[in-house]
Structure 1
Amino acid sequence: MGKRKSEADVAKNGNDVEEDSSSDEDFDMLNVEFEWFDPLPEYDFHGIKTLLQQLFDVDAHLLDLSALTDLILAQPLLGSTVKVDGKDTDAYAFLSVINLQEHKDKAFIAQLIQYLKGKANSNPALGKLSELLSQPSVPAIGLVLTERLINVPAEVIPPMYTMLIEEIQWALEEKEPYNFSHYLILSKTYTEIASLLDEEVERPAKKKKASGNTVETMYFHVEDEVLQRHALCYGGYDYTTKQDDGHSDSKRAFHELGIKPQSQAILIEAPKFQGAVEAITNYLQTASG
């Protein structure tokens, strides 16, 4: 059963659209109806695991994502998927939360905690997270796992967060273990770096453009910028798996510079989480208005 339904107009580049002299680009508007569902074990293993692989990027092989997917599907009344062709299709987006304290004795969660602890230790900005994960007993941290396909609009995200808050409240009324002290959201970012392709053809203007003192962090998902304003701490970290020197150029697309993907952790104290979710909704409503 779908949790909710909503329609969203998604801009899609069109090559056969009549040109408009008042615009630099032409767009087709593709009207897509998104549906929100509970995670469904019989349909969603492949889709959620694929999105987790996208979230953890080149470090995905270091973690047991099959077991993590099974755990997400084992709590079907908590979290959501977004689909466009009915419940028996792969998810275009998902959001769920895992209680690290409750599941710390599971080998794959212990492995994930150690991975996150190592990443927190690598960035002083994540000192508060490092302190929490270094305690003798892992606190009741809700690990928020969420990802979506690249062309899925951000407008699908606020309903999933809003429903998650409602579902956690219902679970607490049933004495289930979701009384979190903090929420930890993992996301992906990137920075632009000098391209090796440019170096090969000696284009110093482009190299100079990339060699400034300030490295700007770019966000794949706009809601992450909103969430970090409410964070106890947040910061990025490099992947453990090293890529060859040309990897950034493979992600270059239409940009002059190469792209270096990174991951980011955002730690929010539980009392501030609802305010952060409301801020996402307000931001996207203002931006689309």
Structure 2
Amino acid sequence: MAKKRAREADGAAPDPDKMQEDESSDDESLLRQLLDVDSQLFDISGLADLILSQPTIGSTVKTDGKEADPYAMLTALNLQEHRAKKPLADLIQYLGEKAKATESLSALPELLASGQHVGLVLSERLINMPSEIAPPMYNLLADEVEAAVEDGEPYVFSHYLVLSKTYHEVESTLDVEERRKKKGKVAEPATYYFHPEDEVLQKHALAHGSYAFTKNDEAVADSKRAFQEMGIVSKGHLILIEAGKFGGAIKAMNEYLSPPS
């Protein structure tokens, strides 16, 4: 019996009221949220099917029973194992192209083409879900991967590639012109994280960086100003972590985000 499964037998598994593994859950809406405006470029249903085809890897969080929509999801796909499957092949090509255009991610395209077993980490949750949900989900993923490796499944990863999102605030064109007239220069917008754990993960990363979505139209940002003075523009974000450092990254995340006892 694998270690993770043995811990479950000893009653040390995560609280089932807070976290449930449900292979039948439909994660398509969370995948669309994660990929944002570029989700239309991919076969989201096919990606969801790939996720659901992994009975021992991946978890969702629900509060209203197994038939309810998931509030959060976390899983890892072996890019090498599934690279011939079109839904993932399209995503790999997309990520490689984005990395080529992002200096801080320059090491990624060669890695994706090398044949090494890279684990693509897909993590998303509803906007109002607290960030404290991330540590137990990542702890569970680490346990699942350990157990799967012990059972001879193809999860011996060389690296983990976390797919996420960032955003920056953007002023209207009129506001920017006014500031240019007054100050002569407009500062680069600050980057913010939808997932606070990303700031911790990237401290342990080999490479990380944000990229513009292919379908992004910054004019849309002005339409989001109903509740705040500034709009937002979201970007894709990648964090590449060597497998040997992934456990340390998760430990640091736990220390940073876990609520005080």
With normalisation by structure 2, the TM-score equals 0.88
Q: Quote the Cα distance in structure 2 between the aligned partners of 1:58 and 1:191.
A: 16
2:167–2:234 CA contact under 8 A, matched in 1? yes
Query: For 2:18, what is the secondary structure of its paired residue?
Result: strand
Query: For 1:263, what is the secondary structure of its paired residue?
Result: strand
What do the CA deviations read for 1:240-280 (whole angstroms, capped 9, x no partner)? Answer: 1142x530123335332221110100000000001101111
Could you tell me which residue of structure 1 aligns to residue 22 of structure 2? 39
Alpha-carbon deviation of 1:197? 6.7
AA at the equivalent of 1:58: V
AA at the equivalent of 1:263: G
Count of residue pairs brought into register by the alignment: 250
| Residues 1:4 and 2:23 are matched in the alignment | no
- Gaps (5+ residues) in structure 2? 1-7
More strand, by proportion: 1
Q: Percent identity?
A: 50
User: 1:188–1:208: structure 2 CA closer, same or farther, 3 Å change rule?
Assistant: farther
Query: For 2:157, what is the secondary structure of its paired residue?
Result: coil
Alpha-carbon deviation of 1:198? 4.6
User: 1:250–1:110: structure 2 CA closer, same or farther, 3 Å change rule?
Assistant: same
Could you tell me which residue of structure 1 aligns to residue 204 of structure 2? 230
Q: Which has the higher contact order (CA 8 A, sep 6+)?
A: 2
Could you tell me which residue of structure 1 aligns to residue 84 of structure 2? 105
1:39–1:77 CA contact under 8 A, matched in 2? no
Q: Quote the Cα distance in structure 2 between the aligned partners of 1:281 and 1:127.
A: 29
2:47–2:87 CA contact under 8 A, matched in 1? yes
Alpha-carbon deviation of 1:132? 0.7
Alpha-carbon deviation of 1:213? 3.0
Could you tell me which residue of structure 2 aligns to residue 22 of structure 1? none
Alpha-carbon deviation of 1:128? 1.4
Alpha-carbon deviation of 1:230? 0.5
| Residues 1:240 and 2:219 are matched in the alignment | no
CA-atom RMSD, angstroms? Answer: 2.4
Map 1:255-270 → 2, pairs under 5 A: 255-270=228-243
With normalisation by structure 1, the TM-score equals 0.80
Q: Quote the Cα distance in structure 1 between the aligned partners of 2:181 and 2:245.
A: 42
User: 1:84–1:117: structure 2 CA closer, same or farther, 3 Å change rule?
Assistant: same
Map 1:266-285 → 2, pairs under 5 A: 266-285=239-258
Q: Quote the Cα distance in structure 1 between the aligned partners of 2:147 and 2:181.
A: 54
Map 1:1-289 → 2, pairs under 5 A: 4-5=14-15, 35-41=18-24, 44-45=25-26, 48-135=27-114, 138-196=115-173, 198=175, 204=178, 212-243=186-217, 245-285=218-258
Q: Quote the Cα distance in structure 2 between the aligned partners of 1:184 and 1:263.
A: 13
Q: Which structure has the greater CA radius of gyration?
A: 1
Alpha-carbon deviation of 1:221? 1.2
User: 1:93–1:271: structure 2 CA closer, same or farther, 3 Å change rule?
Assistant: same
Query: For 1:61, what is the secondary structure of its paired residue?
Result: helix
Alpha-carbon deviation of 1:206? 10
2:180–2:186 CA contact under 8 A, matched in 1? no
Q: Quote the Cα distance in structure 1 between the aligned partners of 2:157 and 2:179.
A: 50
2:76–2:122 CA contact under 8 A, matched in 1? yes
Q: Quote the Cα distance in structure 2 between the aligned partners of 1:177 and 1:167.
A: 12
